[in-house]
Amino acid sequence: MTIRRALADDLQTVISLTEAAYAPYTALLGAPPIPVTEDYAPRIEGGEVWVLESGSEIAGVLTLERHDDHAMIFSVAVSPAFQGKGFGIALLKHADEQTRLWG
């Protein structure tokens, strides 16, 4: 398992994975949650999106905003095929580590 910043080439995978991960909530709410409708291209360009790779597949996505006085997790999404394996926790730990590096 590795976590890296998303690249422009990852955009469609980020979108598809996010839609799949949030599908149960879309069904429950009757509308897609905000992370599903987000435009991830500028977030990827701005370095806010991280992907967790398992082997050669992207298994999870973290969107982490950096602000002057705080950081905010916008979204954590794990592909349904990889849920229940601790990848969501790994992404949250990465967010914690990254914010500590930012100070």
**Domains of the chain (ranges, CATH numbers):** 2-102 (3.40.630.30)
Low-confidence ranges of the chain (pLDDT < 70): none
Q: What pLDDT was estimated at residue 90?
A: 98
**Rounded to whole angstroms, how far apart are CA atoms 11 and 102?**
25
| pTM to 2 decimal places | 0.93
Q: What pLDDT was estimated at residue 20?
A: 97
Q: What pLDDT was estimated at residue 86?
A: 97
Q: What pLDDT was estimated at residue 31?
A: 94
Owner of token pair 């914690």: 96
DSSP codes, 21-60: HHHHHHHHHTS--HHHH--HHHHHHTT-EEEEEETTEEEE
